[in-house]
A and B are shown apart, each in its own frame.
Chain A
Amino acid sequence: MTREIKFESPSFQRRIKGMLGVDFYRLFHTPLFYIFLAIAAIIPAMVSAMTVMPGPDGSPGTPLYSNVWQIIAASESLYVICGIADYANMNMVFIFGGIMVSIFIGHDYKSGYVKQLFTTHAKKQDYMISKTLACAFAMACMCISYFIGGTVGGLLVGYETEVNAGSLILAILGKIVMSLGWASFYTFLNVIFRRYFGVSIASSFFFGTGILIIGAAAIVESLGAPAWFLNVFLYGASVNASLASHIGSFFVCLAVSLGWTVIYNLLGTEILSKSDVY
């Protein structure tokens, strides 16, 4: 009987395939993803309907939007919102997308499944990459779902449809690309608050609303710095993907999203590597 044992070092490709396999299997086999897809479709449709509802005295409602596509993206890059119409667009996906990511990742720890993930060959870096990609995919799907819901809702209400098609497509693509950056940010938040499920959901909601960018905008304005500086932040770049988008705006989204993804993945990997995971 030979007692020689050969060990095969699993390649990055094999490890990440395994991790992605777990995340996508779970994504498609649990109701969470589908519930949030439905939420993403229903919310813009509801917002469209509510904006034209008559008042309590029967007076006709004042439409918030003049155009269907304003439900998808703001007319221009407004870092400080003036009204609900400037706010209620596809950027909302990044708020409830954050909640979805928190539930999705939080259950790894709550159920104890994370033990299975980290006791096998997977590395902490694989975990960050896989969660980011799976959650980015889910949020990108929510963007598409939001687009369908918003378009159908806006058309039913009877808003105008005139738009610069190129800008609209670039705005949608820009927001889809931003899903990656947001997903990496929420994954990072959930790595920090992994033992506190409620805190991770609350923090995802808080940061997703873009409250901090309003403060940052005020600082930028008082310093006399150009407003485009705010595009280096996730929310700023997301707002920048507007109906006035051009190819440059899209590349800004791409660069910002990729840049933050790398930063959050490195930070998350470092935190997981240095701490006790379970």
Chain B
Amino acid sequence: MNAIEIRDLTKNFGEKQAVCGLDMTVPMGAIYGFIGENGSGKSTTEKIVCGLIHASGGSVRLYGRPHTDSDVRARLGVLIEAPGCYPSLTVWDNMMLQAENLALPDAESAVVATLKAVRMEGAAGNKYKNCSLGMKQRVGIAMALLGDPLLLVLDEPQNGLDADGMRIMREVFLDIVKDGKRSIVISSHLLGELQKVATHYGIIRHGKMLVEMTAAELDASCRTFVALQSGDMRKTKALLCEKYARVEEDEAGYLRVYDAVTPEQIVKYLYEKGVCVTEIKTDKIGLEEYYIDLMKGGK
């Protein structure tokens, strides 16, 4: 049984087709990185899953049940776009409202525990409108975590979080899925951060799923490259371009050679041409580069 199973999903806003024939499978226990450009249909898909908007066609099943069933919805935690909080109420009051909404039997204890999990227990008395962007985001995540949800749908949860906040959220997410039943869908543009936790990926473009893969499959698909620096980078680049098909200079000032070559081969070749290599290493492209490559159509 999958946590989310979407088949042939479509959503039209008037003439505009926001989602067209999307298939998506989120296994149980997965942290699913949902990636796509702005306006690619991520939020629309998430809103359909959460029941905020209606699909124009297709089916959405959560844990094998129609996504509109109230029993499965009762186990859903959501953070879409921005946290839905009343600005003039305190963090505590907003959390208590959500606890009331979920009709939790011991609301106060649940709120205390959840605020503690996102390290917001010290700011419970702050008015929501006076919280920083990162604090607001933590409150939004805490609200999604209330009531022991089976499925979390989080839209840009790392927005505005500082380094420590991101680390805390990573720990929280990994802790949630460790029982193998709970699943998390995270849509994010912070791909480096997403890669640290995601077990599955789905890349969407123009409302269609381009590719779905596991983290292991992504790892296998990511091309290796040799990165090097030398005393004369211009000459080195010219020489490498003569011999290898794809040579690029990266942001850190390294020359990357993408063809299946070993560092030894390159050092030998350059040495014979009179160039001394000062630094050389092998590496793999990350999710971010894989995604950019995919978007360019040059996987």
Contact = CB atoms under 8 A, between A and B. Distances in A.
B163 to A, nearest CB: 27
Contacts of B86: 26, 30, 107, 111, 113
Interface centre among B78, B84, B96, by most chain A C-beta atoms within 10 angstroms, is B84
B52 A21 contact: no
Interface string B127-171: 000000000000000010001001000000000000000000000
B74 A119 contact: no
B54 A30 contact: no
A9 interface: yes
A29 B89 contact: yes
A115 B103 contact: no
Interface in A1-30: 1, 3, 5, 7-10, 14-15, 17-19, 21-22, 25-26, 29-30
Contacts of A119: 50-52, 73, 76, 78, 80
Given A15-B103, A18-B103, A22-B97, A112 B84 contact: yes
Interface in B72-103: 72-76, 78, 80-89, 93, 96-98, 100-103
B242 interface: no
Nearest to A117: B101
Interface stretch (B63-71, B263-271, B280-288): B63-71
A278 B96 CA distance: 22
A59 interface: no
Interface string B100-120: 111100000000000000000
B84 A111 contact: yes
B189 interface: no
A229 interface: no
B143 A25 contact: no
Contacts of A278: 47, 52-53
A105 B80 CA distance: 20
Contacts, number: 116
A277 interface: yes
Given A30-B89, A122-B101, A277-B52, A15 B1 contact: no
Main DSSP-derived SS at the B contact region: loop
Contacts of B73: 119-121
Contacts of B204: none
B28 A3 contact: yes
A222 interface: no
Interface residues of B, number: 43
A226 to B, nearest CB: 46
A57 interface: no
A114 interface: yes
Contacts of B147: 120
A8 B101 contact: no
Contacts of B100: 18, 21-22, 25
Contacts of A31: 88
Nearest to B86: A111
B33 to A, nearest CB: 21
Interface string A185-207: 00000000000000000000000
Contacts of A30: 86, 88-89
A277 B68 CA distance: 14
Contacts of B181: 3, 5
Nearest to B82: A112
A123 B87 contact: no
A17 B54 CA distance: 26
B122 interface: no
The 10 closest A-B pairs by CB, nearest first: A21-B100, A18-B103, A112-B84, A121-B74, A276-B53, A7-B71, A9-B71, A115-B84, A119-B50, A113-B84
Interface of B: 1, 28, 47, 50-54, 63, 65, 69-76, 78, 80-89, 93, 96-98, 100-103, 143, 147, 150, 179-181
12 contacts: A3-B1, A3-B181, A5-B63, A8-B71, A15-B103, A18-B100, A18-B103, A22-B97, A22-B101, A113-B86, A117-B101, A276-B47
Interface of A: 1, 3, 5, 7-10, 14-15, 17-19, 21-22, 25-26, 29-31, 107, 111-123, 274-278
Given A7-B69, A121-B73, 5 more contacts: A21-B103, A30-B88, A114-B84, A118-B52, A276-B47
